[in-house]
Amino acid sequence: MPPRIRNPSCPSVSFLTSTPSPSSGALVPTRARCAFLSTTQAKAQTKLRRDFFEWLNGPGAVFTQLPHAGKTNYLGAYDLKTGEPKEGRSAQLPFPLNSAFPSSPVVSDELANEVYRRVVEGGKSVRMVSAELNVSLQRVAAIVRLKTIENRWEKEGKPIKPFLTKTIHGMLPITPLTGSISNPHEPINDLPAHPLTHTQHFVSVSESRAFTRADAGAEFGLPPADEMIPHPELIAEERERRQLTPEDRRQRAQVKEWQENEVKRLEDEKRRQKQKDEEMVLDSGRWRWKIQNAETGKVGFRYGLPHEDRKKGQVKIPTRVE
């Protein structure tokens, strides 16, 4: 059967195709030879493609380049019309329509080195460094462990490849070393979700009873929420800051320090007096014997207790499965 001849009254429709320009790296739309769709649909697609290439050669050109250090290259990080970078929460959204999924920042090399220096070289506790630099307790411990391994590998001559860290720093927001409370890396005083609290407990409580957080924790067999938080001292400090004047806080701190020193001194004196009372010294001239009272349980715990494995009548074969 011979091929069908196209009706000359039917207008031909052409599409735009993209070819690289010989003089530059920009994409230049070109016209295809022929197409057989409707004219309205072809014009709509042609306009969309033309607008897309104009935007890609204009404000959209920033997405073909590497982002700046500590910045993201997400779609919401730039103004779609001008191409200027933006600040705020929208710059940390990899999916612009999902505001509940922001990118979490990563610790910079300077901040990680400062954490390691304060813990290992400065001798500060993990809890203190966490409160000073606004980094969680778990992250401070992880940084110290990883830095210790890295330093050991450098001494042993093992190669260290930091390209992965540099790549991640070019894709995610970074928390620099500023030491400012206004720029925390993450919330450090969030209450951990215990697995026992995932289930519901229905408790009958009278109307006259005040059901507190301590009572709620007791129902799950957990301590109160004020004791489970990582930094309870920050809660007490914030409560005092809002309720007391600076002079009252200073006086309370002095009284608290004096009380702690006094309690420590009394405990030391009590321990020395008890040790002195339990000792009996016999001076025989040449020898001086020091005798102390001993309890049977403590002596047995120290030197070990006898086993009854070889005792007659002991059944050592399991009689039931638990």
**Domain end position, chosen among 125, 142, 175:** 175
Residues of the chain with pLDDT under 70: 1-44, 66-70, 179-183, 294-306, 322
pLDDT of residue 17: 47
Torsion of CA 144, 146, 149, 151, to 10 degrees: -70
Residues 171 and 110 in one domain: yes
Instruction: Evaluate whether residue 15 is within a structural domain.
Output: yes
Instruction: Evaluate whether residue 136 is within a structural domain.
Output: yes
Helix-strand-coil split of the chain, %, nearest 5: 45, 10, 45
Q: Helix (H, G, I), strand (E, B), or coil: what is residue 310? A: coil
Domains: count for the chain: 2
Q: Cβ(279)–Cβ(292) under 8 Å?
A: yes
pLDDT of residue 14: 44
Q: What one-character DSSP code corresponds to residue 85?
A: B
Distances (CA, A) of 232 to 135, 235, 240: 15, 5, 13
Place of tokens 């220096």: 117
H/E stretch holding 291: strand 288-292
Instruction: Evaluate whether residue 4 is within a structural domain.
Output: no
**Domain end position, chosen among 175, 208, 228:** 175
User: Both tokens of residue 141?
Assistant: 């411990």
pLDDT of residue 59: 76
Domain that holds residue 121: 106-175
Instruction: Evaluate whether residue 112 is within a structural domain.
Output: yes
pLDDT of residue 84: 75
Instruction: Evaluate whether residue 19 is within a structural domain.
Output: yes
Amino acid in the structure at residue 33: R
Torsion of CA 143, 146, 150, 152, to 10 degrees: 110
Q: What is the pTM of this model?
A: 0.53
pLDDT of residue 63: 76
pLDDT of residue 11: 47
State the Cα–Cα distance between residues 305 and 190, nearest whole angstrom.
46
**Domain end position, chosen among 122, 152, 175:** 175
Q: Helix (H, G, I), strand (E, B), or coil: what is residue 203? A: coil
